[in-house]
Amino acid sequence: MRVLVIDSDPDDRARLTTGLRVAGVWAEAAATGAAGLARLEDATFDFAIVDLLLEDIGALRLLRCASDRFPRLKLILTSSYHPSAGQLRRTGIDLVGFLPKPWSRDELVGFLHRKSTPPPPRLAPAGRQLPR
């Protein structure tokens, strides 16, 4: 699993990246939205964890751009501000989740593993076929 952390706060960025690496996750970091987009152009990542309060590019703008340009990238928004589920839906961005700060390393890694595992196939009840 490869994760790009985009967070302008140096302490949060280091804590998140280091925590992922200690847990055996390939993690890289970018301090700005522009640097994050450039890194996404250069390498393939499974996840991008983007802080809501970036200093150069609005996080929602970055997430929309990343969603359009990298459709297989799983996008996660993080913040110490906790938007409601309705607010997140209204962004129109296909997020795999919101990660509220502060987080524990075990919580974070468990979340990523759950989101990286495809859901099991649906089984039809006996004698019936699923619609195609």
For residue 102, say if its preceding peptide bond is cis, omega within 30 degrees of 0.
Answer: yes
DSSP code, position 7:
-
* CA-to-CA separations, 10 to 7, 25, 45, 127, 129, in angstroms, rounded: 7, 19, 21, 57, 53
Lowest mean pLDDT among 48-52, 76-80, 101-105, 112-116: 101-105
Lowest mean pLDDT among 88-92, 100-104, 114-118, 121-125: 121-125
Torsion of CA 41, 42, 48, 51, to 10 degrees: -80
69 burial type by CB count under 10 A (0-12 exposed, 13-18 middle, 19+ buried): exposed
Residue 29 is predicted with a pLDDT of 98
The strands making up 95-100's β-sheet, listed across from edge to edge, are 26-30, 2-6, 47-51, 74-79, 95-100
Residue 123 is predicted with a pLDDT of 58
Residue 124 is predicted with a pLDDT of 52
Residue 80 is predicted with a pLDDT of 87
Question: How does residue 91 score in pLDDT terms, banded at 50, 70 and 90?
Answer: confident
Instruction: Determine how many CB atoms are found less than 10 A away from the CB of residue 111.
Output: 17
For residue 58, which phi and psi values (nearest 5 degrees)? Answer: -60, 140
